[in-house]
C-alpha cells in the first residue's frame, strides 16, 4: 500500500491516468453557451482566484449562479450576482479585498 507508515516509495504506477485531452464539444455542449462562458470577466478577483475560475470554465466545471442574489459577507445585503463570490464588488473595491477568497490585494482597474 502507498500509505504505509515509513514507506515513502510507491510500488506501482498511478492508477487512473488521463490518456486523452478534455474536449468540451465531446458531450454536446452548445457553442453559444461555450462562447459566452469564455467571454466572462471576473472583476474584483486576485490572480489566483481568476485562474481557478478560468480552469473551471475550460473544463466545463463552472456553474453560474441561478435564482436570487446571494448575501454579501461584509455588508449583509443581497448584492452578489456572480457564482463563487463571497462579498459584493463594491465592498471588495472599498476594502481592497478579493471578492472570492477575501484576501487583501491591489485591484487593477480593468
- Report d(CA 47, CA 31) in Å as an integer: 27
- Report d(CA 93, CA 38) in Å as an integer: 24
pLDDT band at 4 (very low <50, low <70, confident <90, very high): low
pLDDT at 107 over 50: no
- Report d(CA 87, CA 78) in Å as an integer: 10
Summarize the confidence of residues 84-108 as an average pLDDT.
Answer: 88
Q: What angle do CA 85, 86, 89 make, to 5 degrees?
A: 70
Residues whose CB falls within 8 Å of the CB of residue 12, separated by 6 or more in sequence, listed in order: 2
pLDDT band at 75 (very low <50, low <70, confident <90, very high): very high
Amino acid at each position: 500500500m502507498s500509505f504505509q507508515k515509513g514507506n515513502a516509495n510507491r510500488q506501482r504506477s498511478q492508477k487512473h491516468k488521463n490518456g486523452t485531452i478534455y474536449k468540451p464539444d465531446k458531450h454536446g455542449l452548445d457553442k453559444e453557451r461555450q462562447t459566452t462562458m469564455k467571454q466572462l470577466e471576473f472583476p474584483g478577483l486576485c490572480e489566483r482566484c481568476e485562474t481557478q475560475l478560468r480552469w473551471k470554465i475550460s473544463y466545463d466545471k463552472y456553474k453560474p449562479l441561478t435564482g436570487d442574489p446571494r448575501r454579501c459577507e461584509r455588508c449583509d445585503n443581497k448584492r452578489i450576482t456572480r457564482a463563487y463570490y463571497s462579498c459584493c464588488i463594491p465592498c471588495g473595491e472599498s476594502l481592497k479585498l478579493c471578492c472570492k477568497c477575501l484576501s487583501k490585494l491591489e485591484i487593477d482597474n480593468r
